[in-house]
Chains A and B, each alone.
Chain A
Amino acid sequence: GQSLEQPSEVTAVEGAIVQINCTYQTSGFYGLSWYQQHDGGAPTFLSYNALDGLEETGRFSSFLSRSDSYGYLLLQELQMKDSASYFCAAPNSGNTPLVFGKGTRLSVIA
């Protein structure tokens, strides 16, 4: 099955850049996704990487290296509202549901 590992907590200063890493173990690979979840809220889709390299969407970017079974989410110009939990997720196979990591709780401080 799928296994995804990410740090449990990260703290960063407002205006700075933070990187949240995710390593995965899988018998196949069908893309890596990232979701954001504020306390008490629904997970919301941020990005999806199927191929190696960097995908940029505004202040958020996501990177994938399939050879290293590794990806990361990069958040730039951090704002207080970015304080949330961030989950990496991947399916076990091409048409099966996402398996989520345990999440990284990001705290942005002044």
Chain B
Amino acid sequence: QLQLQESGPGLVKPSETLSLTCTVSGDSISRSSHYWGWIRQPPGKGLEWIGNTYYTGSTYCNPSLKSRVTISVDTSKNQFSLRLSSVTAADTAVYYCARHSWVGGNHYFDYWGQGTLVTVSS
């Protein structure tokens, strides 16, 4: 059974960089035809796609966040990571990692991590 687990600091200071890692078990990132992505949800609000990566290292990001987002993959550890720079209180959210199925205009997220709350505060 495929499982994803987010890890990283739960508190980040304003203007600093948020860093999260997603560990995948039950599937090999390097042998998968899927993408691996990040989605966030501010408290009490809806979902926002951040971006994704493929095992080759190629990445795709939400244009609204692209200037601040770095997504990378480590196939040796079966992990992928998110870095979001220059954070503000508006970046406070539950961050989810998920497996992203993407074929043409068909996008969906079929496996999700449990999510991790990241609070931006001094």
A and B, one complex? no
Interface set of B (CB-CB < 8 Å, partner A):
none
